[in-house]
Amino acid sequence: MKDFSGIYHKRSIVKTYNGDKVEFGDIMELYLPNPIIDNDIFTYNKIFKKVFGGDTATFYYSNSIKIELIGDLEIMRKKFHSCYLVERILILDYDTIQTKEYYAPDIGLVRIEENGKIWDLKECSLY
């Protein structure tokens, strides 16, 4: 994986194969690049393979991050300026997780959307 500056998350790659738990190892997953730059796209794909019980077990991993400057965003009757949208598609074998995260400068994460649910910042003492 190409090293990007940013925040990383350690993810253990584990799968149930023929009723048994197979551990493929760990991966350092880019969570949020630094600096955040408009129109940046980061993609990393890997197929893990491990011989297990005479068979070869596989696990497909994909992490895609797209960043877009969206401008103003209003939450809690408060307008945040120069906000970024971080769209993330994470594929863990057969599971796909799609999220949209909204970041405001000097504040951080102010909204997240996942599986049709929206979570907004409820309170902030920085403004």
In this structure, is residue 71 part of a structural domain?
yes
In this structure, is residue 75 part of a structural domain?
yes
Q: CB–CB of 6/42 below 8 Å?
A: no
Query: Which residues share a beta bridge with 124?
Result: none
Q: CB–CB of 109/122 below 8 Å?
A: no
User: What is the separation of C-alpha 93 from the centre of its chain, rounded to a whole number of angstroms?
Assistant: 15
Q: CB–CB of 50/20 below 8 Å?
A: no
Token look-up 């965003």 returns: 73
**One-letter amino acid identity for 5?**
S
In this structure, is residue 1 part of a structural domain?
no
Q: What is the pTM of this model?
A: 0.82
Its domain, for residue 19, covers 6-120
pLDDT band of residue 125 (cuts 50, 70, 90) is low
Mapped onto helix, strand or coil, the DSSP state of residue 87 is strand
pLDDT one-digit tens code per residue, 4-36: 789 999 999 999 988 899 999 999 999 888 888
Q: How many domains does the chain have?
A: 1
pLDDT one-digit tens code per residue, 95-119: 999 999 999 998 899 999 998 899 9
In this structure, is residue 76 part of a structural domain?
yes
In this structure, is residue 72 part of a structural domain?
yes
In this structure, is residue 126 part of a structural domain?
no
Q: What angle do CA 22, 27, 29 make, to 5 degrees?
A: 135
In this structure, is residue 50 part of a structural domain?
yes
How far is it, in rounded angstroms, from Cα 60 to Cα 37? Answer: 28
HEC letters along 65-79: EEEEEEEEEEECCEE
In this structure, is residue 127 part of a structural domain?
no
pLDDT one-digit tens code per residue, 29-68: 998 888 888 999 999 999 999 998 888 999 999 999 999 9
